[in-house]
Amino acid sequence: MTGAEIFVQSLIKENVEVMFGYPGGVVLPIFDKLYDAKIRFILTRHEQAAAHAADGYARVTGKTGVCLATSGPGATNLITGIATAYMDSIPMVAFTGQVKTTLIGNDAFQEADVTGITRPITKHNYLVKDVKHLACIIKEAFHIASTGRPGPVLIDLPVDVQNAEHDFVYPETCRIRSYNPTYFGHPGQIKKAVKLIAKSKRPIIYAGGGIIISGANNELKELSEKINAPVTTTLMGLGGFDQRNNLSLGMLGMHGTAYANYAIMESDLIIAVGARFDDRVTGRIDAFAPHAKIIHIDIDPSSISKNVKVDVPIVGDAKNILSELNKLVNPCESKDWLKQVFDWKEKHPLSYKNDDKIRPQFVLEKIYELTKGDAIITTEVGQNQMWAAQWYKYSLPRTFISSGGLGTMGYGFPAAIGAQIGRPDKLVFDIAGDGSIQMNIQELATAVNNRLPVKIAILNNGYLGMVRQWQQLFYHRRYSQTKLINPDFVKLAESYGAVGIRVSKKEEVAAAIKKAISIDNTVLIDFIVEPEENVFPMVPAGEAINRMMGGMA
Amino acid sequence: MKHTIQALVENRFGVLARISGLFSARGFNIISLAVGETEDPSVSRMTLLVDAKDERILDQIKKQLNKLIDVITVVDLTGKDFFDRELMLFKVNFTKENKKDIDKLAKEFGAKILETKDSYAVIEICSDQHTALNFLKEIKPFGIKELVRTGRIAIIK
């Protein structure tokens, strides 16, 4: 078998149903074999979109996303997508073509040192120098990408390795002596955590993306209800705890709810699960939660005590550890605390001016209402992302798909394509800004060609809104390079064969959303929203997170 | 504070780049690094002398190293009983006048004079780092023309 055939057969062994990518010179042998293979191939219009689509697919299905690009520029175009997946712990295997092994290092045509470039943004990477190692490397790559703290793995495949012959034997198992993630929490640490919980009067659970990755949402609900602790989630944790639950405080941090930020600051115990105390969450680190002891559950030991000092670290899988905890914990005496928290919740809800203008928050509320909260929401990055996080109520894991760590503009639409392919049964909405959408607008072709009924809701304020907001608040309204002169998005959609709808009056919002949902095609809705609306509350960078500005009813 | 850390790593190409890349990307300070194959040819041992300004950073260095797929084990030798050695070669100004003093110092510290030329001597010292550095301090006033160091290696007793 040739290396290219081994590649295809290995992916079949890994149950890969779909891959995203773009052809090129040195991956011709692979594309030739893919021509007859029973793996669905989604041709994007830019390699970056292939990586984001594989990532979106992985986030909604929990399976490993796969993308493929050629050497040099093809590979470098994947970089943003790989880095996005790396920051958010998304299982992905990215394949890149490489020039002939004999040419490597000679500055050959379309050559780039891709394993060198991707080293800091992959969980691991490989350059395959000999076809006899190929099957084993693919097996290892899928294993590493999907286990422990997941992440992207890259395999660089020189063209002569794709053409070289070798017997195909796919390894049944995979053992890497230096890689043994810890899945079960240390019983001694769990006992210590139980003791801390027993003493707590003001507990709060702070849950991150780890809940979703490990599928621990039921265990999380059980813990919070058992110990009477409210739950706040990070951006990545949205969907990990039903926001309709009374104990839900929504998202915390820079654009979190006031009540979540107050609660974490006043708590005496933080149970952090699968979250990493990112600067957007903690604000000024030395002022963060001054009275709280911290229990930190995470599968990645290096996440523990990285930003804040932890009292009880428990390394392992969130689902396993929470179910152990649930067997041992008793209710906290947190009646007064909950009263206080509910009081904050009532006094300081998220709010916006409900007038006759189209406010983006209103659009999100309508989308929530008309999709009955059952859609998969992807987002771009910026104000659109924060409004999508604040105003749509997530109740199920894997329904909020957003670039959290890297904050990648242009992520949402290709991710929506991947999400729609992974979940054809679901309605997928990309909440976009007029800036972000143009970073991967070319994917309208991919969506239309594949008959994907993805809905794009552009909250069109004519600005790079989040940067404009910072300029307004911190740079004396000097809107340097944030005003956008945009194309006609409706015509643009139509030219790709998608449906375009423009909404410039508030009373048209609901009808447009309904219409979009009813159309079995890619639909772009261009909501002309209030240009200078801000995302509030907001904690200025470097401030303590209870020092919020704006939006405080 | 300085710490001697040893990592057993897969003996593969690219491993050194992964480790040096990790240190530069995360802003960890590396003083010296010595790598060589072990008794098992599939494994290399790296001895790193690192400067960690506090416990948190030291802890991160160890954890981040461990997180690399090619790293098998990481041991911090701080507080453990170990032998350490560093080899230094240097050229020092050598004249009739200072010959006696240099000979005496070399003897005292167990250093070897490998060769003497008209204007300089090539000296070798292989000892624990503390002794080697003290020797260097003593010899410095004579005028060092060139200095080559291997960095620290160590073995637990």
Give the CATH number, domain containing residue B53: 3.30.70.260
- For residue A114, the domain's CATH number is 3.40.50.970
| Strands annotated E in A353-510 | 376-379, 400-401, 428-433, 455-460, 499-503
- CA A496 from centre of chain: 27
Measured between CB atoms, which of B10, B60, B71 is closest to A306? B60
Q: Is residue B23 classed exposed, middle or buried when 0-12, 13-18 and 19+ CB atoms within 10 A define those classes?
A: middle
Measured between CB atoms, which of A120, A127, A305 is closest to B25? A120
- Residue A288's contacts (CB-CB under 8 Å, 6 or more residues apart) are A264, A265, A277, A282, A308, A544, A545
- For residue A295, the domain's CATH number is 3.40.50.1220
- Residue A203's contacts (CB-CB under 8 Å, 6 or more residues apart) are A197, A227, A228, A229, A267, A268, A269, A270, A271, A332, A334, A337
| Strands annotated E in A111-247 | 124-127, 152-158, 203-207, 231-233
Q: Are B69 and B77 in contact (CB under 8 A)?
A: no
Number of domains in chain A: 3
Q: Are A153 and A14 in contact (CB under 8 A)?
A: no
Q: Tell me the shortest Cα–Cα distance from B60 to chain A, in angstroms.
A: 6
Q: Are residues A343 and A364 in the same domain?
A: no
Q: Are residues B70 and B96 in the same domain?
A: no
Query: Higher model confidence: residue A82 or residue B96?
Result: A82
Residue A114: domain span: 3-163
Whole-number Cα distances in Å, B51 to A302, A396, B152:
19, 46, 13
**Pairwise CA distance, residues A294 & A52, whole Å:** 34
Confidence of residue A551 (pLDDT cuts 50, 70, 90): low
* CB-based contact A115 B63, cutoff 8 Å: no
Q: Are residues B21 and B52 in the same domain?
A: yes
Q: Are residues A284 and A198 in the same domain?
A: yes
Measured between CB atoms, which of A116, A176, A305 is closest to B56? A305
Complex-level ipTM beyond the 0.85 threshold: yes
Q: Is residue A133 classed exposed, middle or buried when 0-12, 13-18 and 19+ CB atoms within 10 A define those classes?
A: middle
Give the A:B interface size as CB pairs under 8 Å. Answer: 38
Q: Which of A321, A347, A373 is the last residue of a domain?
A: A347
Q: Are residues A392 and A291 in the same domain?
A: no
Q: Tell me the shortest Cα–Cα distance from B59 to chain A, in angstroms.
A: 8
Tokens for A290, please give them. 């001054």
Q: Are residues B59 and B6 in the same domain?
A: yes
Q: Are residues B66 and B93 in the same domain?
A: no
DSSP string, A37-96: SSSEEEE-SSHHHHHHHHHHHHHHH-SPEEEEE-STHHHHHHHHHHHHHHHTT--EEEEE
pLDDT at residue A47 is higher than 50: yes
Name the residue in chain B with its Cα closest to that of A118: B18
The pLDDT value recorded for residue A265 is 97
Q: What are phi and psi of A132, to 5 degrees?
A: -65, -20
Q: Are residues B59 and B112 in the same domain?
A: no
Confidence of residue A32 (pLDDT cuts 50, 70, 90): very high
Domain-located, residue A132: yes
**Pairwise CA distance, residues A11 & A441, whole Å:** 30
* CB-based contact B69 A178, cutoff 8 Å: yes
Cβ burial A148-174 (10 Å sphere, 16+ → b, else e): bbbbbbbbbbbbbbbebebeeeeeeee
Q: Tell me the shortest Cα–Cα distance from B138 to chain A, in angstroms.
A: 42
Confidence of residue B97 (pLDDT cuts 50, 70, 90): confident
H or E stretch at A527: strand A523-528
Tokens 């919980």 identify what position? A197
* CB-based contact A178 B10, cutoff 8 Å: yes
Cβ contacts (< 8 Å) between A176 and chain B: which residues? 69
Rounded to an integer, the average pLDDT of A541-545 is: 91
H or E stretch at A495: helix A489-495
3-state SS class at A390: helix
Per-residue model confidence as pLDDT tens digits over B120-155: 999 999 999 899 999 999 999 999 999 999 999 999
Confidence of residue A174 (pLDDT cuts 50, 70, 90): confident
The pLDDT value recorded for residue A149 is 98
Cβ contacts (< 8 Å) between B18 and chain A: which residues? 119
- Rounded to 5°, angle at Cα A163 from A159 and A164: 115
Name the residue in chain A with its Cα closest to that of B74: A178
* Mean pLDDT rounded to a whole number for chain B: 94
Whole-number Cα distances in Å, A58 to A16, A181, A401:
11, 20, 10
**Pairwise CA distance, residues A405 & A85, whole Å:** 9
Q: Which residues are paired to A187 by β-bridges?
A: none
Q: Which residues are paired to A499 by β-bridges?
A: A523
Name the residue in chain A with its Cα closest to that of B26: A120
* Mean pLDDT rounded to a whole number for chain A: 97
Q: Are residues B122 and B146 in the same domain?
A: yes
Cβ contacts (< 8 Å) between A178 and chain B: which residues? 9-10, 69-72
Per-residue model confidence as pLDDT tens digits over A473-530: 999 999 999 999 999 999 999 999 999 999 999 999 999 999 999 999 999 999 999 9
**Pairwise CA distance, residues A229 & A205, whole Å:** 6
pLDDT at residue A552 is higher than 80: no
Q: Are residues B63 and B95 in the same domain?
A: no
**Pairwise CA distance, residues A468 & A480, whole Å:** 8
Q: Are residues A417 and A339 in the same domain?
A: no
Q: What are phi and psi of A496, to 5 degrees?
A: -85, -5
Q: Are residues A32 and A68 in the same domain?
A: yes
Measured between CB atoms, which of A115, A300, A306 is closest to B14? A115
Q: Are residues A241 and A373 in the same domain?
A: no
Q: Are residues B71 and B131 in the same domain?
A: no
Cβ contacts (< 8 Å) between B59 and chain A: which residues? 305
Domain-located, residue A541: no
Q: Tell me the shortest Cα–Cα distance from B107 to chain A, in angstroms.
A: 45
Name the residue in chain B with its Cα closest to that of A308: B56
The pLDDT value recorded for residue A147 is 97
* CB-based contact B69 A176, cutoff 8 Å: yes
Q: Are residues A314 and A430 in the same domain?
A: no
* CB-based contact B69 A305, cutoff 8 Å: no
Tokens 């709060």 identify what position? A204
Q: Are residues A319 and A400 in the same domain?
A: no
Per-residue model confidence as pLDDT tens digits over A302-314: 999 899 999 999 9
Per-residue model confidence as pLDDT tens digits over A252-307: 999 999 999 999 999 999 999 999 999 999 999 999 999 999 999 999 999 998 99
Q: Are residues A31 and A52 in the same domain?
A: yes
Residue B66: domain span: 2-76
- Residue A415's contacts (CB-CB under 8 Å, 6 or more residues apart) are A52, A53, A55, A56, A59, A378, A401, A403, A430
**Pairwise CA distance, residues A56 & A65, whole Å:** 8
Q: Which of B12, B42, B76 is the last residue of a domain?
A: B76
Q: Are residues B29 and B48 in the same domain?
A: yes
Q: Which of B76, B94, B117 is the last residue of a domain?
A: B76
Q: Which of B30, B51, B76 is the last residue of a domain?
A: B76
Cβ contacts (< 8 Å) between B71 and chain A: which residues? 178
* CB-based contact B69 A309, cutoff 8 Å: no
Using omega within 30 degrees of 0 as the cis cutoff, is the peptide bond preceding A360 cis? no
Closest by Cα among B134, B136, B129 to B154: B129
Rounded to an integer, the average pLDDT of A242-261 is: 96
Q: Are residues A343 and A365 in the same domain?
A: no
Q: Are residues B53 and B96 in the same domain?
A: no
- Residue A283's contacts (CB-CB under 8 Å, 6 or more residues apart) are A253, A254, A539, A542, A543, A544, A545, A547
Q: Tell me the shortest Cα–Cα distance from A116 to chain B, in angstroms.
A: 8
**Pairwise CA distance, residues A443 & A459, whole Å:** 18
* CB-based contact A115 B67, cutoff 8 Å: no
Per-residue model confidence as pLDDT tens digits over A193-240: 999 999 999 999 999 999 999 999 999 999 999 999 999 999 999 999
Q: Are residues B14 and B56 in the same domain?
A: yes
Interface test with B, best of A113, A119, A298 (most B CBs within 10 A): A119
Tokens for A212, please give them. 């979703």
Whole-number Cα distances in Å, A490 to A193, A383, B99:
55, 22, 89
Q: Are A59 and A401 in contact (CB under 8 A)?
A: yes
pLDDT at residue A116 is higher than 50: yes
First to last CA, chain A: 68
* CB-based contact B60 A302, cutoff 8 Å: yes
* CB-based contact B59 A305, cutoff 8 Å: yes
First to last CA, chain B: 22
The pLDDT value recorded for residue A553 is 40
Q: Are residues A366 and A326 in the same domain?
A: no
Number of domains in chain B: 2
3-state SS class at B109: helix
pLDDT at residue B107 is higher than 70: yes
**Pairwise CA distance, residues B22 & B17, whole Å:** 8
Half-sphere exposure of A523 (CA within 13 A, CB side): 21
Q: Are residues B18 and B57 in the same domain?
A: yes
Residues of chain A with a CB closer than 8 angstroms to some CB in chain B: 115-116, 119-120, 123-124, 127, 144, 176-179, 300-302, 304-306, 309
Per-residue model confidence as pLDDT tens digits over A75-100: 999 999 999 999 999 999 999 999 99
Whole-number Cα distances in Å, B84 to A278, B35, B48, B154:
39, 14, 12, 4
- CA A133 from centre of chain: 32
Q: Tell me the shortest Cα–Cα distance from A301 to chain B, in angstroms.
A: 7
Per-residue model confidence as pLDDT tens digits over A118-145: 999 999 999 999 999 999 999 999 999 9
% of chain A with per-residue pLDDT over 90: 97
Calculate helix-pair angle for B96-109, B129-139, nearest 10 degrees: 170
The pLDDT value recorded for residue B1 is 87
Measured between CB atoms, which of A119, A179, A300 is closest to B17? A119
Residues of chain B with a CB closer than 8 angstroms to some CB in chain A: 9-10, 14, 17-18, 21-22, 25, 56, 59-60, 63-64, 66-67, 69-72
Cβ contacts (< 8 Å) between B64 and chain A: which residues? 302
**Pairwise CA distance, residues A429 & A417, whole Å:** 10
* CB-based contact A301 B63, cutoff 8 Å: yes
Q: How many CB atoms lie within 10 A of CB A353?
A: 11
- Residue A175's contacts (CB-CB under 8 Å, 6 or more residues apart) are none
Rounded to an integer, the average pLDDT of A318-342 is: 97
Name the residue in chain B with its Cα closest to that of A180: B69
